[in-house]
Amino acid sequence: MRSEIGNLIGGQTSEAAGGRFEKLRPGDGSLLCTAPRSGEPEVRAAVAAARGAQREWAARTPVERGEIVRELALALRARREEAAAIVVEETGKSLELALGEADAAVEMGFFVAGEGRRLYGRTTTSAMPNRTVLVTRRPVGVAGLIVSFNTPLPNYAWKVFPAVFCGNAAVLKPSEHTPASAAFFGELCQKLLPPGVLNVVHGIGSEAGPPLVESSDVDLVSFTGSAGTGRSISERGGARLAKVVLELGGKNALVVCDDADLDRAVEWSLASAFSNAGQRCAAASRVVVFDSVYEEFRERFLAGARTYETGPVISEQSLERILRALEGQQVAGGGNRLERPGWWLAPSVVEDVARDASLSRTELFGPVALLYRVGDLDEAIALVNDSPYGLTSAIHTASLHRAMRFAEEVEAGVVVVNGGTHGSEPHMGFGGVKQSGTGWREAGIEALDVYTEWKYVNLIADPART
């Protein structure tokens, strides 16, 4: 891994006029690397490089672009250990998690590559004789891709692979917390993509992000991150009527009914709340338990939380923000910073939080679970839905009726019965309702709707007969 990372613009590594910023290791707070502190000039250069490369890239057939994406996935698979090792240093997560994420990114590449031979359009009928209408997918143009730090490799793969496959050129603005994995990913892609098709611009979000969102030469902004940043991107992008796709946060709920398999329910609740230090958009940060099993669940959940191996959170600011949110709360377990270098928070369990309190409605993005007690399914569903977010949800029950009612009535993009609040798989569209997104789905063939526009081509076979 390089200690000095550069931007990748038009196939060249370059610096930023604004100098460099430092990236520290969350595991111990030591310096990992520095990266360019980019702003408007670097973003402008990257967008120009993308614009310059896009037409020629789009002129290649989808089959050829699919083959190149397949090669990218194979190249990443061949270097999965190296990629995962970088992610471990950069985020502090376990090697096992990082390897799983590298594999998930590879799988996304394979799924997207298959679209090369499947990029289906439609034909449709017409009221006019002799008219055939072809409905085809066209690239959007230049895509500005802005992503979160939490699972960096899948975050790049979920956006970059479908974006370039669909014939777009892209400017990736990774999180300032993950410059090393973004540089690795960019260099890997650079070996197989023509210069300018993928550009990587590092920088602090508030400095490098807005020029990308505001650039009139960026046809699509695809963003994964917090609702607050999403709102600002929506306003800036909306002002110039750009296509803006937002995948945002969650305050996801997992419900444990009185007929649940309690061992499994505890296991899934722990993993859903605390894996990746709770830094998952799909994390179960609200655990809603039926009254009659509450005490037993609580005891086992607290015992599990005490020994759960989470990684550190991503930054000192993030840790301080979470500790501030826990002040004055009824903390049943954890709630403290671990006595070691880096940014470690003990897995934390909070009880008796009012449903309308800000803690119940704010995503903390850390290893914190709130426990709620409910009398029945009606109350559980009402509580789950009493949230500004609606990304994922889960219910543990032996009753098919309860499961189906929950699936029907819960306001969320994803429902899991007897499992964790998962993310997704490459062939499944992922996204949420309310403030968890703006109605788009990533991954799956749904991603094609993000990265293409429909074009209606009218063919009049015999002009004399119309």
Burial class from Cβ neighbours inside 10 Å (0-12, 13-18, 19+) for residue 191 reads exposed
Q: Give the dihedral of Cα atoms 164, 170, 175, 179; nearest 10 deg.
A: 80
If the CB atoms of residues 62 and 437 are measured against ligand NAD, the closer one turns out to be: 437
Q: In what order do the strands lie in the sheet with 122-124?
A: 122-124, 131-139, 452-460
Distances (CA, A) of 14 to 6, 45, 176, 402: 5, 10, 17, 57
- Asked whether the beta carbons of 262 and 296 are under 8 A apart, the reply is yes
If the CB atoms of residues 58 and 153 are measured against ligand NAD, the closer one turns out to be: 153
If the CB atoms of residues 226 and 329 are measured against ligand NAD, the closer one turns out to be: 226
If the CB atoms of residues 175 and 397 are measured against ligand NAD, the closer one turns out to be: 175
- Is 173 a residue that touches ligand NAD (CB under 6 A)? yes
Instruction: Annotate 237-286 with DSSP letters as a single string.
Output: HHHTT-EEEEE----EEEEE-TTS-HHHHHHHHHHHHHGGGG--TT-EEE
Pattern 270-309, ligand NAD, x by CB under 6 A: -----------x----------------------------
Helices (H), 8-151: 40-59, 62-78, 80-91, 95-114
Among 38, 224, 276, 392, binds ligand NAD (CB under 6 A): 224
Candidates 70-78, 147-155, 182-190, 269-277 — which segment interacts with ligand NAD by CB under 6 A? 147-155
Question: Which candidate in 247, 257, 363, 442 is catalytic?
Answer: 247
In total, the chain counts a number of residues equal to 466
- Is 162 a residue that touches ligand NAD (CB under 6 A)? no
Question: Which candidate in 89, 189, 281, 363 is catalytic?
Answer: 281
If the CB atoms of residues 57 and 274 are measured against ligand NAD, the closer one turns out to be: 274
Q: Assign 415 to helix, strand or coil.
A: strand
Whether 247 is catalytic = yes
Token pair belonging to 290: 């039926």
Candidates 71-79, 86-94, 144-152, 414-422 — which segment interacts with ligand NAD by CB under 6 A? 144-152
- Is 172 a residue that touches ligand NAD (CB under 6 A)? no
Residues designated catalytic: 247, 281
Site residues, ligand NAD (CB under 6 A): 146-150, 173-176, 205-206, 209-210, 213, 224-226, 229, 232-233, 247-250, 281, 363, 365, 391
